[in-house]
Amino acid sequence: MGRTFKIWFGPELKELFNQHPELNNLIKDFVAYKKGALLFNGDGIGYINARYVLGRDAPYDLPPVCVDNAYHIHALEKDSQDHIIAKRRYPKNQYKWTSNNALIYCTHWTESHKDEQDKSIFGILDFVTNAHVFNHSRKIELENLVEEFEQAVDRDIEVEKW
C-alpha cells in the first residue's frame, strides 16, 4: 500500500485537472483505489473527492471499442440519480455501478516490476461525460492517446509521483 505510483496526464488534460479541484481529487481517489487503500464504497466513505464515487472499472475490450491497454472507471456524481439507483439495486457490486462520467486510463509496467505484473505507471487519457458513446474516430483517438503515453514513458518524459 505504500507504493508510489506515477501518473502521466495527456497534454490537454493537465490544465483541465488543475483548474477543477474535484477532478484532481478524483485522481487522488483513483490512485488510492489502485493502491488498495480505497475500497469500493457506495457511500463515498474515505474518499477525498466530494463530488464523485468510483464505479465499474473495466477494460475497453468489447466491440465496437476494443483498444489494447485502455480502461475506464465510471465516476458517479454523489447523490445523483445514477448513484441513488446503483446504491439501491447493487449495494455491493461495483461492476454494476455505471454512469455517463468516466475516467479513461492506461497502464505501464516498469522494468523492475514486470515479473510481478505490477502496474506502477498510469496514463490519464481523458475524463468523459458521454462514456457510452463511441464511434470509429473516438476509438482511433483513444489508440493514439495510448500510444502517446507509451512513447512518453519509454522516453522517461515527465510523470508525477502520487
- pLDDT tens-digit profile of 78-107? 888 888 888 889 888 888 888 989 999 998
pLDDT(156) > 70:
no
* Structure confidence at residue 160 as a pLDDT band (50, 70, 90): low
Interval 25-30 mean pLDDT: 87
What pLDDT is recorded for position 27?
Answer: 87
Enter the DSSP assignment of 4. Answer: P
Q: Which positions ≥6 away from 133 have C-beta within 8 Å?
A: none
Domain ranges of the chain: 6-154
Interval 57-72 mean pLDDT: 84
How many whole angstroms separate alpha carbon 149 and alpha carbon 157?
A: 9
In the chain, what percentage of residues exceed pLDDT 70? 84
In the chain, what percentage of residues exceed pLDDT 90? 8
pLDDT(25) > 50:
yes
What pLDDT is recorded for position 161?
Answer: 64
pLDDT in tens, 117-152: 456 788 899 888 888 777 778 888 888 888 888 888
CA-to-CA separations, 23 to 48, 123, 143, in angstroms, rounded: 11, 15, 23
β-pair partners for 8: 123
Q: Which positions ≥6 away from 51 have C-beta within 8 Å?
A: 22, 25, 26, 77, 78
What pLDDT is recorded for position 115?
Answer: 46
Q: How many residues does the chain have?
A: 162
